[in-house]
């Protein structure tokens, strides 16, 4: 049985930003967890090209095997929604050719390659960043029926963003797993004025990491990961 492909989505797009660092933490925590049956190393989608992990010829022994990749919305560079059609009205199987804009066709083709998603997002004004809502709005059938997990961050963990996102994903008919992971960022921040446009690494403050450990974040991420694996088993 071929491995199932999970994309971890980096949702904020400003420069500089914290999201890639948090996404990497989520990826690494899931990847090193012995209970999560990951098969492959990290692939970050920095372009709209297909994921090279997907056609690799690695023998699968565990039918639950998954791959973890990262999709960065900033690299997708989607304009504000500019399709004349409503995505839900398109044919359910391979809607990509029916979109009018090349960026939508590329986005549709990329998302169709994945079986499940973990959305990693900051809270912006009690909701998700417009970049994430915009990227979700572009498609419908490509999301529909697929398992989704939610990880948020903010001064109190981004719970309001998580609530909004659960509603949006449910509207897209995704199978949102029960565990939300909220990461309070009290000490970690983007040192404004010190990072270049090329975006040097932003590090997670040890005090936040310690707080997450004490709150059992690694166990929550394992629950979220295993809930997605179980949902994929039902396919
Ligand atoms: C436009 C904007 C709105 C924000 N609103 C909230 C908020 O409602 N609650 C919160 O805890 N943090 C809020 N923040 C702080 C962000 O959680 C924090 O800046 C975080 O680093 C943003 O993620 P990013 O660096 O990946 O963009 C906001 C930040 C921005 C830029």
Q: Please, are residues 30 and 219 in contact by the beta-carbon 8 Å criterion?
A: no
Question: What domain range includes position 160?
Answer: 4-233
Q: Rg of the Cα trace of the chain?
A: 17
Which atom of ligand 1 lies closest to the CA of 17?
A: 25
Greater confidence (191 vs 32) lies with 32
Query: For the chain, how far is it from start to end, CA to CA, in angstroms?
Result: 12
Residue 204, pLDDT above cutoff 50: yes
- Fill in the DSSP letter of residue 200: P
How confident is the model over 61-120, as pLDDT tens digits? 566 789 999 999 999 999 999 999 999 999 999 999 999 999 999 999 999 999 999 999
**pLDDT tier at 199 (50, 70, 90 boundaries)?**
low
Bond prior to 16 in cis (omega within 30° of 0): yes
The tally of domains found in the chain comes to 1
Show the CA angle centred on residue 162, arms to residues 170 and 178, nearest 5°.
60
Interval between CA 17 and ligand 1 midpoint (Å): 10
CATH number at residue 110: 3.40.50.360
**Per-residue pLDDT tens digits for 18-36:** 999 999 999 999 999 999 9
Handedness of CA 134, 190, 25, 76 (dihedral sign): positive
Name which residue leads in pLDDT, 235 or 171. 171
Predicted confidence (pLDDT) at residue 55 exceeds the cutoff of 80: no
Residues near ligand 1 (Cβ within 6 A) = 12, 14, 17-19, 122-126, 154-156, 190
Distance in Å, CA 124 to ligand 1 centroid: 5
Q: Is the pLDDT of residue 133 over 50?
A: yes
Task: Give which of 123, 106, 120, 6 is closest to 53, Cα–Cα.
Answer: 6
State the distance from the centre of ligand 1 to the C-alpha of 206, rounded, in angstroms: 20
Q: What is the pLDDT of residue 57?
A: 45
């Amino acid at each position: 049985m071929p491995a199932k492909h999970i994309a971890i989505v980096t949702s904020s797009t400003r420069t500089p930003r914290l999201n890639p660092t948090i996404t990497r933490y989520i990826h690494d925590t899931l990847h090193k967890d012995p209970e999560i049956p990951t098969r492959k190393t990290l692939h970050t989608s920095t372009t709209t090209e297909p994921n090279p992990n997907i056609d690799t010829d690695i023998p699968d022994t565990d039918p639950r095997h998954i791959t973890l990749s990262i999709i960065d919305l900033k690299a997708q560079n989607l304009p504000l929604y500019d399709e004349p059609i409503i995505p839900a009205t398109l044919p359910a199987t391979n809607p990509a050719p029916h979109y009018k804009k090349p960026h939508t066709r590329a986005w549709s083709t990329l998302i169709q390659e994945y079986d499940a998603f973990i959305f990693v997002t900051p809270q912006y004004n009690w909701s998700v960043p417009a970049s994430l809502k915009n990227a979700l709005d572009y498609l419908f059938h490509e999301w529909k029926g697929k398992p989704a997990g939610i990880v948020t961050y903010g001064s109190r963990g981004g719970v309001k963003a998580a609530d909004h996102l659960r509603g949006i994903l449910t509207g897209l008919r995704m199978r949102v797993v029960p565990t939300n992971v909220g990461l309070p960022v009290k000490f970690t921040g983007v040192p404004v004025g010190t990072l270049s446009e090329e975006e040097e690494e932003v590090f997670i403050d040890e005090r936040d990491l310690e707080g997450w450990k004490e709150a059992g974040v690694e166990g929550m991420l394992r629950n979220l990961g295993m809930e997605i694996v179980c949902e994929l088993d039902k396919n």
